[in-house]
Structure formats: C-alpha cells, structure tokens
C-alpha cells in the first residue's frame, strides 16, 4: 500500500515537472537563459555560495542543540546536512525530508524517533521565523502585499500556532497523556496487531525524544539559530539575484524569498525540484510586477546556480567519508526513501 502511494506521488511529481517545464520553456528562449548564466557575476555567485554554506553551518548548529543522544562531531553533522540538502533538492514528492531521518540514522546512528523530533522542532522554528519576517515586511511596508498573500499568511500563522502548541503539549504533557492512554487500552493491547503495537512504541519513543529537549534555553537557542539561518539564506538569494543582474530592492528580495519558502516544503514537488522552484520564483516575481518571460528566465537561471551550490556542498561529506561510501550511500538512500 505504502509503495503504491510512493509510486503515485512519483508519477504526480513527474507529471508536474514535465507540464510546468514544457510550459515555461515554451515562453522563453533557451538562448536567453544560457546568456543570463554566462553573463552572471562570478563575485556575486561566490558570495552566494559562501552565504549558502554559512546557512548550512547554522542549520547544523541548530540540529546539534536538538540532538541529545550524541553530542559533538559537528563536522559529521555538517556533512549530513549537506547530503540532506542534496537529497531534498533531488528527490521528488517531498521525500527529501524523509532523507534527513535516513541520513541521520545511517551516518550518525541517531534513532528514528529522535530524527523525527528534531525535524519537527526545527520546522516549527522555521514557521515562527517565517511569520516574524512577513510581519517585519508588512510593518515597515517594504512591499505592498497582495490580498491573496495576506490571506495565505493568515493561514500560515494559524498553522504556526498549531505546530508550536502541539510541540509544547507533547514536550511538557506528552508522558502524562501517553500514560493515561496506556491505562485505557491496557486490557485490549494483547489483541492489537503487531503493526499497531509497533506504531505505539514509536510514538512513545518520539514523546521521550521531545521530553529530552524540554528546556526553554534550548528552544531559545534553536530560534536564534533559525533567525541566523534565514538571514544567510536571504543573503544567498540576494547574491544570486544580483549575479544575474536583476534589480530588486532588499524588501522585494525578502518578499520573493518568503514566497518561495512554503513552496519548497510542499508534499508534492517536481523531480530535481524542477517546476516547483521555477513556479515559486515566477509567482513571486510576477507579484512584484516582473514580466512573465523575464521571470521565467530568471527562475531557470537562479535554479541552475543554486543547484550548483547544493552540488558544491557535497565536497564536505566526500572529504570526511570515502567517496565510494558516499556514492553507495546516496544510491541506497534513493532506494530506501523511495520505499518509505
């Protein structure tokens, strides 16, 4: 059943990729894209790559705070983040997020429940920073927000409150709730099928992982690292946009960045992130008044540059581990994540 669902998601992702890319490529000349990349400023590209790697460093620091079963080995974690970033930009249908848990378990021997917990708390912090930055954008009137964007922001705010509330409940009251549930179902637990008992055990392990990071200073540090991450990712976007000589203000780049982020975590994404990435950029640039043809050319050029960053970041895991190990691991990760 699960494999069929994955196959269905892959087919949908493939159809999405082909449909969107065929449409976009029909609206722009490939020569214009090639010329934009060829004329890109090398100094801005290098600056963007530097910002991208500093973003990865803060992302690593954030996860190192959340991971409680093993401490230290920051370079190992940094390499894992680089691999996760690559898989997240290559695997379709949002399976790149699952890749983080798989990579963490295989290369750092972190339990699955702990991987789920750290990923959930990290994403919750991301949502909180997202709402904060959009509020900053609106408060200082850096960009005139269209009505549809304001409505979407309100829904994201509701989702953020839900995620934060759920994290607080599970962290501080998870054990109490789980114990009451166990007492209620104890007379019937022997009749449960094996898979249901396994799910129950995994939920218990995940609640234990939430409880292990029950600390206000830890949450504060995670939030501060998240702000730093977003700041350097914003600088990466700014450098990429400047490298292809598109004249946008600081506020407009922030708006484009914020429009892009929710699209990158959609459950359905294109293969190699094609179509999804371009769609987000075209949407954001169109809302800023950029013509469709220019927006498509910029989106395809920017995607090429950022994908080079993602590939370039794989240098670090290749330095830490043997090249053959990483090659075999990437192959097995594609297969393992696809099966899940």
Of all residues in the chain, the percent with pLDDT exceeding 70 is 79
- Give the pLDDT score at 337: 46
Contact status, residue 284 vs residue 256, Cβ threshold 8 Å: yes
CA torsion through residues 183, 187, 193, 194, sign: positive
Query: Whole-angstrom Cα distance, residue 111 to residue 108?
Result: 9
What pLDDT is recorded for position 331? 55
> What is the average per-residue pLDDT within 191-209?
73
- Which has the minimum average pLDDT: 88-92, 126-130, 224-228? 88-92
Q: Please tell me which residue, 202 or 36, carries the higher pLDDT value.
A: 36
Model confidence pLDDT, tens digit, residues 266-292: 666 666 677 778 888 888 898 888 888
Q: Region 290-317: what's the mean pLDDT?
A: 87
Of residues 332 and 156, which shows the higher confidence score? Answer: 156
Check pLDDT > 70 for residue 5.
Answer: no
Over residues 135-192, the pLDDT tens digits come to: 888 777 777 777 777 787 778 778 888 888 888 887 777 777 777 776 776 666 666 7
**Across 103-107, 304-308, 318-322, which has the greatest mean pLDDT?**
304-308
Which pLDDT score, from 0 to 100, does residue 188 have? 67
Banded pLDDT at 193 (limits 50, 70, 90): confident
Instruction: Give the model's pLDDT for residue 338.
Output: 47
Give residue limits of the domains in the chain.
2-125+214-339
CA distances to 40, 174, 268, 270, 289 from 293, rounded to whole Å, are 18, 52, 25, 21, 12
Residue 326: pLDDT over 60 = no
Q: Alpha-carbon distance 133 to 154, whole Å?
A: 13
Give the C-alpha separation, 167 to 171, whole Å. 6
> In this predicted model, which residue has the larger pLDDT, 229 or 16?
229
pLDDT number for residue 41: 92
The answer on pLDDT for 47 being more than 50 is: yes
The mean pLDDT of the chain is 79
pLDDT at residue 22 greater than cutoff 90: no
Q: Which two tokens stand for residue 158?
A: 């509701």
């Amino acid at each position: 059943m699960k494999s069929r669902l994955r196959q269905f998601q892959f087919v949908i992702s493939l159809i999405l990729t082909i449909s969107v890319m065929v449409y976009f490529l029909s609206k722009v000349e490939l020569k214009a894209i090639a010329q934009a990349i060829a004329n890109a400023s090398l100094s801005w590209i290098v600056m963007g790559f530097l910002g991208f790697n500093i973003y990865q460093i803060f992302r690593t620091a954030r996860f190192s705070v959340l991971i409680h079963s093993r401490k230290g080995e920051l370079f190992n974690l940094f390499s894992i983040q680089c691999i996760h970033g690559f898989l997240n930009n290559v695997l379709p249908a949002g399976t790149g997020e699952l890749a983080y848990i798989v990579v963490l378990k295989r290369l750092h021997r972190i339990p699955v429940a702990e991987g789920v917990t750290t990923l959930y708390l990290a994403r919750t912090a991301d949502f909180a920073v997202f709402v904060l930055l959009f509020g900053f954008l609106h408060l200082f009137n850096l960009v005139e927000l269209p009505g549809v964007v304001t409505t979407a922001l309100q829904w994201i705010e509701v989702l953020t409150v839900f995620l934060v509330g759920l994290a607080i409940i599970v962290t501080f009251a998870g054990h109490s709730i789980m114990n009451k549930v166990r007492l209620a179902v104890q007379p019937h637990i022997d009749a449960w099928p094996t898979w249901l008992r396994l799910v129950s055990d995994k939920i218990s392990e995940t609640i234990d992982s939430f409880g292990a990071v029950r600390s206000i200073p830890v949450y504060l540090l995670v939030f501060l690292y998240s702000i730093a991450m977003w700041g350097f990712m914003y600088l990466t976007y700014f450098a990429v946009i400047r490298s292809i000589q598109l004249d946008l203000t600081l506020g407009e780049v922030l708006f484009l960045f914020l429009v892009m982020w929710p699209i990158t975590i959609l459950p359905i994404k294109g293969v190699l992130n094609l179509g999804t990435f371009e769609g987000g950029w075209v949407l954001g640039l169109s809302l800023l008044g950029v013509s469709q043809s220019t927006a498509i050319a910029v989106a395809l050029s920017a995607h090429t540059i950022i994908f080079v960053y993602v590939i370039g970041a794989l240098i670090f895991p290749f330095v830490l581990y043997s090249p053959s190990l990483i090659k075999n691991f990437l192959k097995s990760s594609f297969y393992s994540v696809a099966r899940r």
